[in-house]
Amino acid sequence: MKFVKIPSIAITRLSIYVRSLELLDKKGIEVVSSGRLADLCGINPAQIRKDLAYFGQFGVRGVGYYVKELLFEIKKILGLDKEWRLGLVGVGNLGTALLKHTQFLDTGYTFVAAFDRKPERIGTKIGGIEVAPVEAMNRLVKEKGVEIGLIAVSSEWAQAAADMLVKAGVRGIMNFAPVHLECPRHRFIENVDFSLKLDALCYRLTTGRAV
């Protein structure tokens, strides 16, 4: 079978489709046309069809997509048909906001552990999670089944935090620190740098051009 490389932006768009389909499902809408779904997502109908075609045949010609069915299939593709257990490193302002962000629960992500280096933060509870010292990471990651680690620390400490997560057995890392991290090939890192998004927005405001 020929391997088809799927663009990362297509995976991002799948998440957008999930959010829109969930809204339709909550409203009790059973069928949606590609045009209507495109309007909700702000994406061209042809692009939606192309993205879905990477994974198989979806929808019925002349009818559209069955909302529950398509939602189920896309969630399965993304691995969202299960609960993902999260561990956070760094409970400063950003880390605290992440722990208190209730939308994570609605989308199948659950914080089960939080770690920090500062003594005054150890033992405090944020969003129902007791903050543990980083020295306990190796044990707690295994005990609580942490699968994804979120790094919300300074740039100077981010690599050390990533190394600790990898050593503890975490396979996926979301990095909020504005720095490139090194990790083994069998681990996966997603970088979230708000300043990059702001830079892109400033470019659009300055030039009037899309990025």
- CATH number for the domain spanning 178: value is 3.40.50.720
CATH of the domain at 65: 1.10.10.10
Residue 2 scores a pLDDT above 80:
no
Tell me the percentage of the chain whose pLDDT exceeds 90: 80
E strands along 82-156, which residues? 84-89, 109-116, 125-126, 129-133, 148-151
Together in a domain, 88 and 182: yes
Q: Is residue 2 part of a domain?
A: no
> Which residue, of 59, 78, 97, is where some domain finishes?
78
User: 84-89 and 109-116 as β-strands: parallel, antiparallel, unpaired?
Assistant: parallel
By mean pLDDT, which of 18-22, 40-44, 196-200 is the weakest? 196-200
Q: How many domains does the chain have?
A: 2
Q: What average pLDDT does range 166-185 have in this prediction?
A: 94
- What sign does the dihedral 28-39-16-55 (CA atoms) show? positive
> Which residue, of 52, 78, 104, is where some domain finishes?
78
Together in a domain, 104 and 135: yes
Q: Is residue 204 part of a domain?
A: no
Distances (CA, A) of 104 to 46, 85, 107, 127: 30, 10, 5, 12
Together in a domain, 74 and 89: no
Together in a domain, 179 and 92: yes
- Going by pLDDT thresholds of 50, 70 and 90, the confidence category of residue 107 is confident
Q: Is residue 205 part of a domain?
A: no
Identify the domain containing residue 13 by its residue range: 8-78
* Residues 139-159: tens digit of each pLDDT: 999 999 999 999 999 999 999
Work out the number of other CB atoms within 10 angstroms of the CB of residue 163: 14
* pLDDT (0 to 100) of residue 48: 94
Instruction: Locate 168 and state its tokens.
Output: 């503890």
Q: Is residue 25 part of a domain?
A: yes
Q: Is residue 107 part of a domain?
A: yes
Residues in the chain: 211
Q: Is residue 206 part of a domain?
A: no
